[in-house]
């Protein structure tokens, strides 16, 4: 076959020809430093319960959680995000167990900081694991009270800081909570405890498996009066601007994969580190397809997380953290 294009000036394929050329012009690189590993803690000893909608992810009792976190630290993972399964008898409307100084989260944080001091501990600030209604705030006549909830969130955040949390991460989406938490932490002397704000958190069907893990599905209605409408993009900038003004150290977009455009917009808007949460439903979809043999799990995971970096994420919360840390070794 004779070539008709001998003199084609631009041939982008020149830079894709060999593996070394491709490595040299690679624009984005996923590293273990980007990963935050979300973990689930439950009461008891020697407990390890797999979450059926999240194959490979377990709720661990504290003794086994410490082993899991030590493993993660040995793989080079810098940070964990801690979420508790709270028994029904400890739940109430105001989530009072959330600021119990001897609560599960507080005990877990103390133990983790004692045993594995090098790992950064990020705690979740929200009422849903502690709420009889499975909502992120106090319920009255079917609505979620904002300012009353924020008062509880401040107590929760301060109690987590007292236990030794490095960073508190409000995931509740109440208005004004970042500023109130900052003031509360400062007043209690925790100037150095940071805030990772779930700023652009959408009302998403991708959270289903997480709610299985924590038995925290809303008992009525949905979370659309506080979490964002997935159709909105400018509103994400508004939320981020407020959280920065109120004292956030880092901002987050959640979920990640269906919101890569939001990650990009926020990255262009702020100089703060931007985190993306590769949520439970995103994890479950990949695992389910891989179990069927329909996709190559490893390649899909790397491609997906790299797309989040490319969109602008500096940090990625992902249940794949340990798996990816191993792949990157």
Would you name the residues annotated as active-site residues?
201, 254
**Binding status of residue 252 toward ligand PBG by CB under 6 A:** no
Question: Cα torsion at 61, 66, 68, 69 (round to 10°)?
Answer: 130
Alpha-carbon distance of 154 to 98, in angstroms, equals 10
Break the chain down into helix, strand, coil percent, rounded to 5: 45, 20, 35
Which range touches ligand PBG (CB under 6 A), out of 13-21, 121-129, 233-241, 289-297?
A: 121-129
Q: Which of 42, 61, 160, 171 binds ligand PBG (CB under 6 A)?
A: 171
* Burial of residue 19 (number of CB atoms within 10 Å: 0-12, 13-18, 19+): exposed
Closest CA to 223 of 202, 198, 254: 202
**Binding status of residue 207 toward ligand PBG by CB under 6 A:** yes
Q: Tell me the backbone φ, ψ of residue 154, rounded to 5 degrees.
A: -65, -45
Q: Which of 279, 286, 308, 311 binds ligand PBG (CB under 6 A)?
A: 279
Strand (E) positions, 173-244? 194-201
**Binding status of residue 136 toward ligand PBG by CB under 6 A:** yes
Closest CA to 134 of 65, 60, 208: 208
- Name the residue nearer to ligand PBG (CB basis): 214 or 237: 214
- Name the residue nearer to ligand PBG (CB basis): 39 or 240: 39
Which range touches ligand PBG (CB under 6 A), out of 64-72, 104-112, 123-131, 174-182?
A: 123-131
**Binding status of residue 126 toward ligand PBG by CB under 6 A:** yes
**Binding status of residue 128 toward ligand PBG by CB under 6 A:** yes
Interacting residues with ligand PBG (CB under 6 A): 124, 126, 128, 136, 171-172, 207, 210-211, 223, 279-280
């Amino acid at each position: 076959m004779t070539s008709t294009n001998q003199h084609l000036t631009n041939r982008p394929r020149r830079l894709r020809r060999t593996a070394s050329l491709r490595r040299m012009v690679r624009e984005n690189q996923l590293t273990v430093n980007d990963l935050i590993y979300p973990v689930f803690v439950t009461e008891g000893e020697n407990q390890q319960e797999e979450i059926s909608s999240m194959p490979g992810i377990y709720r661990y009792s504290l003794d086994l959680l410490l082993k899991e976190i030590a493993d993660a630290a040995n793989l080079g993972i810098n940070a964990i995000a801690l979420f508790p399964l709270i028994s029904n008898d400890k739940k109430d409307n105001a989530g009072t167990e959330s600021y119990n100084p001897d609560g599960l989260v507080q005990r877990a944080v103390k133990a983790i900081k004692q045993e594995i001091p090098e790992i950064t501990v990020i705690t979740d600030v929200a009422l849903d694991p502690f709420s009889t209604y499975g909502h992120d705030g106090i319920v009255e006549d079917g609505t979620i009270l904002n300012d009353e909830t924020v008062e509880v969130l401040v107590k929760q955040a301060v109690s987590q800081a007292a236990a030794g949390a490095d960073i508190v991460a409000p995931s509740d989406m109440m208005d004004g909570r970042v500023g109130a938490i900052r003031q509360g932490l400062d007043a209690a002397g925790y100037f150095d405890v940071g805030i990772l704000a779930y700023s652009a958190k959408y009302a998403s069907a991708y959270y289903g498996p997480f709610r299985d893990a924590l038995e925290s599905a809303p008992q009525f209605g949905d979370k659309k009066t506080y979490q964002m409408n997935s159709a909105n993009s400018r509103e994400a900038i508004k939320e981020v601007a407020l959280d920065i003004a109120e004292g956030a150290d880092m901002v987050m977009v959640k979920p990640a994969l269906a919101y890569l455009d939001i990650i990009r917009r926020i990255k262009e808007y702020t100089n703060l580190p931007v985190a993306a949460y590769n949520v439970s439903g995103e994890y479950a979809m990949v695992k389910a397809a891989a179990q069927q043999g329909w996709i190559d799990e490893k390649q899909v995971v790397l491609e997906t997380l790299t797309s989040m970096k490319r969109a602008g994420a500096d940090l990625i919360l992902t249940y794949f953290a340990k798996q990816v840390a191993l792949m990157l070794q």
